[in-house]
Amino acid sequence: MNQLRKISIATFIILTLLSIYFALQLKFSFDFEQFFPTGDPDLAFFKEFIEEFETDDNFMLIAAVREKGVFEQSFLEQFHDLTLQTRKLPYIIESQSLTKLTLPLKTPFGYTTIPAIHIDKPSRYARDSLKIMQDERFVHNLISEDGKALVIAMKTKDRLDLQDSDELMEAIRTLLTNYSFEQTHLLGTAYFQSELVKMSQREVAVSAVISGLLVTFILFVLFRRPIGIGIACISIALGMLLFLGLLGAWGRELSVMSALYPVLMIIVGTSDVIHIMSKYIDELRKGLPKKEAIIITIKEIGLATLLTSITTAIGFASLLSSRITPIKEFGVNAAVGVVVAYITVIFFTTALLSYFKREQLTYLTEQKNVWEKILEYTYQTTVLHPKRIILGSILLIGICFWGISTISTNYRMESNLPIGATITEDFTFFEEAFAGFRPMEIAVFATDEYKATDYEVIQQMDKIEQHLHTIPSIKSVTSITAAYKSANQANNQNKATAYSIPTTERSFQKTQRMLDRLPEGSKDIMVSKDGKKARITTRVLDIGADSVQQLGIHIDNWIAQHTDPSIATFKRTGTAIILDKNALYARQSLLEGLAFAVLIVSVLMALLFRNWRMVFISLVPNVLPLLIAGGLLGFLGIELEAGVAILFAIVFGIAVDDTIHFLSKFKLASDKGLGIEEAIHITFLETGKAICLTSVVLFFGFLVMLFSVNPPSVTVGIMISVTLFTALISDLLIIPVLIRLLL
């Protein structure tokens, strides 16, 4: 045995050194495409669409605010200079703003252009401002409705990676230091990518530190001896380091969900350590020698902990049913982490423990008597009030179903942004003052012999655009029709009322000849090269996934009723629409994954106990926490989305642990010839303490997520803490009652 523990410790020292190296290779990533549901037909269509045109989120916006109004010469001169400088930024293809924009005008000598704002002629500001504020092309796109903010709209290269986004954002911030605007706000995919990765890095570091401090405090309360605390802390830290090293060696990238990894690894490792150390100390308390005590601990608690690790891993692995890649990866990574924590405790922790006596690991206190009193009282409650427990459980289940029926999936993008962060303030600013962030595209397909630029097709597109302008949540609509309207306006002395599609085909052909002189590149992004397809680009305010879905249905129905499919057909697509489908798939995959997890756990229980009644007894107290979690979501008005849906897998995977420890001890006691009642009593006194202690660790461990700035993480932390506490109550009260009824 002495040789084995030396080999074990030496092996873990080598693994630690390797893990440090690979952990340093870990990278963080964020990309909206990561959250696209795989295998979705609309996603396949969207990918074809952006190959034909371009991505719909390749923009970066800079807004500058002047509370007294933007039509002031010094402000406009600064803003114009900033517009020119942005064209020199890395990864920027082009940039535009009102100070740089010119409008076409037909004169007796041919076509010319005039500036939208005559910056060097303040006397013309009143006239310029009147025209601009009446023009749908500019309001909500390049100028706010109240006239207090201007926007520079920049087009970026497609699919910027994290390094590109960081470089661009650093260049933008450096550039802005040269100007003295009252306020500036940013919006764009590069901004999201850069900031959300920084949030993920902060979350991992903060959650690891706070979780570590919390667990150290709990271990101090439990063991009080430096050696006992040291062994536990080293074991837990080693498990997390090995896990991160494995992810690095595996080539995994950490996403916005990675903040949960330190919390999960620390509390799962702590749970395993407490069960092992409590059992070992209890055996030493009985007077057994260290070797015999460690063997009994590994046999009894090692097997139970193996089962709990397997079931917890299955709970996480149930997330494989998700169509969302980061959710799948989180499930696989977390399942692997649970196994790593178990292996560390069984082979490393037990090897270290076997060197020490009881008095070296913990103080001799009356703590055990306190726990015996609490557990004895709980045991007597199950004996004296079984009917109340059953009726209370049934009532609670009914209340939970009521709450579940009210769950909303109308989640908003803002709900996933960092709490109190600048990026969240910027997002809110653009939602309130401009057209928001959610892109929505309408693909246009010219029918038969028609082309997308034919008069009849343009008329059909204009019908749809006019209707879109009547929808309050849509503030921006752009397509090739804008070119025809602008040309028609130029041909009619630039009158505001002339910004429309020419009323006759003859006048339309006249504008067509004017547009044919434009460079091809300026039209490629709105009309396909073969001329058969076009796009209507819009942005929708952050009204919620379900609301956007209902809006989409309304638009589809309106198009079906008011357009002629013999001329053109239309189909909605876009990044936001694909992302919003995650709400639907979150619910679907959640049910499928949990059903699979329950099935696998049922099979494991059947193999362990070889009794269908025990399978039923083991599942009931673990389904109840899931119902409570669902009910809380409904009653608290928390929106169900991909990031929140994972809490059910975590709750099921971890809640079943205490059940297995309880029933495993009951089975061991029964196999020794004890009666049912006596076996229940002994289980309460011997296993109840470890179950309670680990539940306390889990409860406070997940509450660490309250320090997160990521709203889904905060929600998941609170919900898991509360539901796992109810799982403890469920195990201690319901299992004994069911055992007496069914066995």
pLDDT tens sequence across 440-471: 889 999 998 999 989 999 999 999 999 999 99
SS3 of residue 675 by DSSP: coil
Q: Beta 27-28 vs 253-254: how paired, if at all?
A: parallel
Model confidence pLDDT, tens digit, residues 623-638: 888 888 888 888 888 8
Distance CA 575, CA 189 (A): 11
Residues 301-307, mean pLDDT to the nearest whole number? 80
pLDDT at residue 100 greater than cutoff 80: yes
Distance CA 276, CA 254 (A): 31
**pLDDT score at 305:** 82
Position 346, amino acid: I
Model confidence pLDDT, tens digit, residues 320-339: 777 777 778 888 888 899 99
Residues 366-393, mean pLDDT to the nearest whole number? 81
**pLDDT score at 110:** 60
What is the average pLDDT value for the chain, to the nearest integer? 83
pLDDT band at residue 226, thresholds of 50, 70 and 90? confident
Name the residue with higher pLDDT: 668 or 493: 668
pLDDT at residue 357 greater than cutoff 80: no
Q: What percent of the chain has pLDDT over 70?
A: 92
Distance CA 223, CA 471 (A): 64
Least confident residue range of 85-99, 189-203, 427-441, 589-603: 589-603
pTM, full prediction? 0.79
pLDDT band at residue 366, thresholds of 50, 70 and 90? very low
Name the residue with higher pLDDT: 115 or 174: 174
**pLDDT score at 444:** 94
**pLDDT score at 109:** 59
Distance CA 717, CA 711 (A): 10
pLDDT band at residue 643, thresholds of 50, 70 and 90? low
pLDDT at residue 521 greater than cutoff 50: no
Model confidence pLDDT, tens digit, residues 566-586: 999 999 988 777 777 766 666
**pLDDT score at 293:** 83
Residues 403-411, mean pLDDT to the nearest whole number? 82
Cβ(661)–Cβ(275) under 8 Å? yes
Tell me how crowded residue 381 is: count the other CB atoms within 10 A of its CB. 16
pLDDT at residue 501 greater than cutoff 50: yes
How far, rounded to the nearest angstrom, does the alpha carbon of residue 195 sit from its chain's CA centroid?
14
- Range list of β-strands (E), 559-673: 568-573
- Residue 232 corresponds to which tokens in the numbers above? 């536990």
626 burial class (0-12, 13-18, 19+ CB within 10 angstroms)?
A: buried
Name the residue with higher pLDDT: 496 or 364: 496
pLDDT band at residue 111, thresholds of 50, 70 and 90? low
Distance CA 251, CA 33 (A): 19
pLDDT at residue 108 greater than cutoff 80: no
Cβ(646)–Cβ(330) under 8 Å? yes
Distance CA 647, CA 716 (A): 6
Cβ(734)–Cβ(621) under 8 Å? yes
Model confidence pLDDT, tens digit, residues 229-265: 888 888 888 998 999 999 888 888 777 677 678 878 8
* Residue 544 Rama label (left phi>0; alpha psi -120 to 50; beta): left
Q: What percent of the chain has pLDDT over 90?
A: 23
DSSP 95: E
- Residue 502 corresponds to which tokens in the numbers above? 């020419």
Handedness of CA 292, 296, 299, 304 (dihedral sign): negative
Residues 604-615, mean pLDDT to the nearest whole number? 78
341: part of which helix (H) or strand (E)?
helix 325-343
Distance CA 740, CA 717 (A): 35
Secondary-structure breakdown of the chain: helix, strand, coil percentages, each rounded to the nearest 5: 65, 10, 20
Q: Beta 568-573 vs 438-446: how paired, if at all?
A: antiparallel
228 burial class (0-12, 13-18, 19+ CB within 10 angstroms)?
A: buried
pLDDT at residue 75 greater than cutoff 50: yes
Residues 165-182, mean pLDDT to the nearest whole number? 94
pLDDT band at residue 92, thresholds of 50, 70 and 90? very high
How far, rounded to the nearest angstrom, does the alpha carbon of residue 637 sit from its chain's CA centroid?
18
Residues 258-277, mean pLDDT to the nearest whole number? 80
Distance CA 665, CA 646 (A): 30
pLDDT at residue 168 greater than cutoff 60: yes
Cβ(582)–Cβ(641) under 8 Å? yes
Model confidence pLDDT, tens digit, residues 709-728: 778 778 878 888 888 888 88
pLDDT at residue 58 greater than cutoff 90: no
- Range list of β-strands (E), 40-134: 59-65, 92-96, 102-107, 110-115
**What is the maximal distance between C-alpha atoms in the chain?**
110
